[in-house]
Amino acid sequence: MPTPAPSREELVEAAAKLVPLLRSRALWIDEHRRLPPDVIEAIEESGLLRMQVPTEYGGYESDARAFVDVLAEVAKGNSSVAFCLSIYASLTWMVGLWPDEALDEVFAQPHVRVTGTTAASGTAKRVEGGYLINGKWGYNSGVLHAHWKITAAIPDDGPAEHALPVFALVPVSELEIVDDWDTNGLPGSGSVTTVATDVFVPDHRVIDGAVFYQNASKSPVIAAKPGYRVPMLVTATVMQTGQLVGAAKYALSSFLERLPGRPLTYTNYPSQQEAPVTHLQVGEAALLIEDAEARAHRFADLLAGKILRDEPWSQEERVLSRVQIGWIARQAKLAVEILAAASGGSSILRDVPITRIQRDVHATSLHALITPATTIELYGRSLTGLEPNTFYL
């Protein structure tokens, strides 16, 4: 019989055990723009990579609430690590759309890590038994440590202006890596560019866009599970929320740790802890973080409830799901900015966490599917009776 999946509490505890290591490796991660081997090894040993692997392959199929809380814990250690884990989880879940033959290949790899992008910046040429994939894709978060990549490409067997992309599962070892990720935020995500040159992908590892966007799994076993019928972007966005909450929590805890005994320079306050302005700053930041976490939990519980009832998702609910992460990002970013502004000149030293957290949360909030302004506008359009201005729902 398969081993029972760990409880939510056990998974969060496993994530918490990673935090000291992740904090100790933060400067290395920033400098080398990737995750160090000991962090990868610790992540593998934690079992967290199995949270979105199907149970048939020894995975846990953990619920969204568990993943929100796990990612929040990991982000208390390092946001780049949390970002990579969020990508691995959501893309591992997406693998369930492929036929069993492809699943057997992907999940034969212990501690499998899957990354990818949905931007169709490549082409797919039909050949006997599959496709030849060519192209260049940017922003491949986590690919430096991944085994497989989901790659979108426009097929050459129809009018390009009308063609849906095909999605191919490609071994990362068959792609060229372009080391072009040199950023102020999330440097350790290693979101480099990948290039494919006549990479052959057999038919069983290619699905068309209709299957991908409609969540029509080609695996009979996976297709029978309500959790895999949730719209792709709903699942992906709920998984992303935890890292924002955790990063903001880390900002608050590190601020409070540095507070005792720090003077408020050029004032009569011998300790910043005594200043009313500090009380206002800490109080506002804490309330923003509490609200962001509560919203993330409501979002995850909504998802879990609909899976339990096996309910379809309306367009209105899909729009609502998009704005959740945008608003959570806004709250987390504002909380971190308040704390960073209150942290004093010494906070710009590289070994003080707050500026790193600030840069990482800012970078996360700039992701095209997370950006607060875009998601809030989408929600406002819906409320005023207009159709969405995107099909990414």
187-239 per-position pLDDT tens digit: 999 999 999 999 999 999 999 988 888 888 999 999 999 999 999 889 989 98
How many structural domains comprise the chain? 3
Residue found under tokens 């809380």 = 69
How far apart, in whole angstroms, are the C-alpha atoms of residue 158 and residue 86?
Answer: 34
3-state secondary structure of 269: coil
Query: Is 90 exceeded by the pLDDT of residue 107?
Result: yes
Tokens of 373: 């302004």
**Amino acid 159: pLDDT:** 54
Predicted confidence band at 3 (pLDDT cuts at 50, 70, 90)?
Answer: low
Asked if 305 and 258 sit in the same domain, the reply is yes
pLDDT given for residue 161 in this prediction: 53
Examine residue 225 and state whether it is found in any structural domain, yes or no: no
Question: Are residues 53 and 96 both part of a single domain?
Answer: yes
The arithmetic mean of pLDDT across residues 311-337, rounded, is 96
Q: What is the pLDDT of residue 344?
A: 87
pLDDT band at residue 262 using 50, 70 and 90 as cut-offs = confident
**Average of pLDDT values for 117-143?**
94
Q: Is residue 29 domain-shared with residue 141, that is, in the same domain? A: no
pLDDT tens-place string over residues 275-300: 999 999 999 999 999 999 999 999 99
- Residue 136, beta-bridge partner list: 195
Do residue 377 and residue 246 come from a single domain?
yes
Question: Mean pLDDT over all residues of the chain?
Answer: 94
Note whether 49 and 131 are same-domain residues.
no
Q: How far apart are CA 210 and CA 393, in angstroms?
A: 14
Q: What is the structure's pLDDT at 345? A: 85
Domain of residue 174, residue span? 114-214
Residue that finishes a domain, picked among 187, 214, 241: 214
> Any idea of the CA torsion for 20, 26, 32, 36, to the nearest 10 degrees?
10
Whether residue 282 sits in one domain with residue 156: no
- Per-residue confidence (pLDDT) for residue 247, from 0 to 100: 98
Distances (CA, A) of 135 to 16, 81, 168, 224, 391: 39, 27, 12, 34, 24
Instruction: Let me know whether 49 and 89 are in one domain.
Output: yes
CATH of the domain at 137: 2.40.110.10
Angle at 60 between CA 201 and CA 147, to 5 degrees: 30
- Are 273 and 370 within one domain? yes
Q: Is the pLDDT of residue 162 over 60?
A: no
From 78, 106, 134, the end of a domain falls on 106
Last residue of a domain, one of 71, 106, 141: 106
Which of 117-126, 167-176, 343-352 is the least confident region? Answer: 343-352
Residues 296 and 256 in one domain: yes
pLDDT tens for residues 298-322?
999 999 999 999 999 999 999 999 9
* 3-state secondary structure (DSSP) of residue 149: strand
**In the 8-state DSSP scheme, what is residue 260?**
T
Tell me whether residue 259 is in a domain: yes
141 vs 118, which has greater pLDDT?
Answer: 141
